[in-house]
Amino acid sequence: MKASLFYFIVLTTIVSLLLAACGGAGGGSGAPMKAIGEGEGEVSIIAWAGYIERGETDPAYDWVTEFEAQTNCKVSVKTAATSDEMVSLMNEGGFDLVTASGDASNRLIAGGKVQEINLDLIPSWKTVDERLQNAPWHTVNGKHYGVPYQWGPNVLMYNTEVFPEAPTSWDVTFEEMTLPDGKSNKGRVQAFDGPIFIADAALYLKYHHPELGIDNPYDLDQKQFDQVIELLRRQRTLINRYWHDAFVQMDDFKNEGVVVSGSWPFQVNLLQLEGAPIASVIPVEGATGWADTTMMHVNAPHPNCAYKWLEWSLNPKLQGDLAAWFGSVPAVPAACKGNELLTDEGCATNGYNDFDKIWFWRTPTAECSDGAGNCVPYSEWVNAYIAVIGGQ
Interval 12-36: pLDDT, tens: 434 433 443 333 333 445 689 999 9
**How far is the C-alpha of 321 from the C-alpha of 338, rounded, in Å?**
11
Q: Which of 205, 338, 201 is nearest to 262 (CA)?
A: 201
Summarize pLDDT for 359-375 with one digit per residue, the tens: 999 999 999 988 888 99
Q: Which of 276, 327, 286 is nearest to 48 (CA)?
A: 327
Summarize pLDDT for 294-333 with one digit per residue, the tens: 999 999 999 999 999 999 999 999 999 999 999 999 999 9
Question: What order do you get walking across the sheet with 278-281 strand by strand?
Answer: 239-243, 189-192, 260-263, 155-159, 278-281
Summarize pLDDT for 123-148 with one digit per residue, the tens: 999 999 999 999 999 999 999 999 99
Average pLDDT score over residue span 142-157: 97
Judge if 306 and 201 occupy the same domain: no
Judge if 375 and 261 occupy the same domain: yes
Judge if 110 and 202 occupy the same domain: no
Judge if 173 and 109 occupy the same domain: no
**332: CATH:** 3.40.190.10
Does residue 80 carry a pLDDT above 80?
Answer: yes
Does residue 11 carry a pLDDT above 90?
Answer: no
Q: What average pLDDT is seen over the chain?
A: 92
- The tally of CA atoms less than 13 A away on the side-chain side of residue 243 is 23
What is the per-residue pLDDT for 371?
80
The pLDDT confidence band at residue 392, using thresholds 50, 70 and 90, is confident
**How far is the C-alpha of 375 from the C-alpha of 237, rounded, in Å?**
28
Average pLDDT score over residue span 200-212: 98
Does residue 286 carry a pLDDT above 50?
Answer: yes
Which of 290-308 are b and which e, b meaning 16 or more Cβ less than 10 Å from the residue's Cβ?
Answer: bbbbbbbbbebebbbbbbb
What is the per-residue pLDDT for 391?
86
Q: Exposed (0-12), middle (13-18) or buried (19+): which is 145, by Cβ within 10 Å?
A: buried
Q: What angle do CA 17, 19, 25 make, to 5 degrees?
A: 140
Judge if 191 and 279 occupy the same domain: yes
Long-range contacts of 282-285 (CB under 8 A, 24+ apart): 282/153, 282/155, 282/156, 282/351, 282/354, 283/156, 283/167, 283/168, 283/169, 283/170, 284/168, 284/169, 284/207, 285/169, 285/170, 285/203, 285/204, 285/206, 285/207, 285/208
Judge if 196 and 240 occupy the same domain: yes
Contact indicator for 184, 176 with CB cutoff of 8 Å: yes
Q: Which of 172, 324, 287 is nearest to 235 (CA)?
A: 172
Average pLDDT score over residue span 174-188: 98
Percentage of the chain modeled with pLDDT above 70: 92
**How far is the C-alpha of 249 from the C-alpha of 379, rounded, in Å?**
27
Tally of domains in the chain = 2
Q: What is the DSSP string of 256-296?
A: S---EEEE-HHHHHHHHHTT-SEEEE--TT-EEEEEEEEEE
Summarize pLDDT for 53-62 with one digit per residue, the tens: 999 999 999 9
79: helix, strand or coil: strand
Judge if 263 and 158 occupy the same domain: yes
What is the per-residue pLDDT for 9?
40
Q: Which of 25, 225, 241, 196 is nearest to 101 (CA)?
A: 196
Which range of residues forms the domain containing residue 207?
A: 153-288+365-389
Judge if 53 and 92 occupy the same domain: yes
Does residue 220 carry a pLDDT above 70?
Answer: yes
Phi, psi of 116 (to 5 degrees): -65, 140
DSSP classification of residue 52: S
46: helix, strand or coil: strand
Judge if 6 and 146 occupy the same domain: yes
Contact indicator for 88, 16 with CB cutoff of 8 Å: no
Judge if 162 and 223 occupy the same domain: yes
Judge if 268 and 324 occupy the same domain: no
What is the per-residue pLDDT for 30?
63
Percentage of the chain modeled with pLDDT above 90: 88
What is the per-residue pLDDT for 369?
84
Judge if 172 and 307 occupy the same domain: no
Summarize pLDDT for 263-273 with one digit per residue, the tens: 999 999 899 99
What is the per-residue pLDDT for 14?
41
